[in-house]
Amino acid sequence: MEAIESLDKECSALGGLYQQVINDMKAGVPQYEDFVNKAYKLHTHLKGTLMVLSSFLDSFQKIADAATNTKGATRDIGACLTRIVIRHKSMESKLKALCGALLDCMVLPLQDKLEDWNLTS
């Protein structure tokens, strides 16, 4: 008889713990939704920044190429400008990787989880 009462108490405690976890998840869902929305907005702005940065670097590269194709000291300036463009293109590729990881590894998985959490609410 004591074993049954003990088992009932443990089941009751486990049920209470489960209900507390569910309530905590329900309370946190709006915060996660806000976080996902802000992360998606950041992704969108980074993507726009990447487009503008790419066109800027293309224009900069044209200037560097024009300077490189001249004679005299301007050719050295063109070579320096080309090195600057190459370094900035490296930064652009790292920013692209960050932007992709932000969407693929954080926003989309969290959105899927939020849909699951909203279904259990």
CATH number, domain at 61? 1.20.1270.60
- The reported pTM is 0.74
- pLDDT on residue 94: 97
**Does residue 102 sit within a domain?**
yes
For residue range 41-85, list pLDDT tens digits in order.
999 999 999 999 999 999 999 999 999 999 888 999 999 999 999
**Does residue 95 sit within a domain?**
yes
Number of domains in the chain: 1
Range of the domain at 101: 30-120
Residues in contact with 118: Cβ distance below 8 Å, sequence separation at least 6, in sequence order: 29
**Does residue 14 sit within a domain?**
no
Q: Residue 9: count other Cβ atoms within 10 Å of its Cβ.
A: 10
Mean pLDDT of all residues in the chain?
Answer: 89
**Does residue 71 sit within a domain?**
yes
Q: Residue 93: count other Cβ atoms within 10 Å of its Cβ.
A: 11
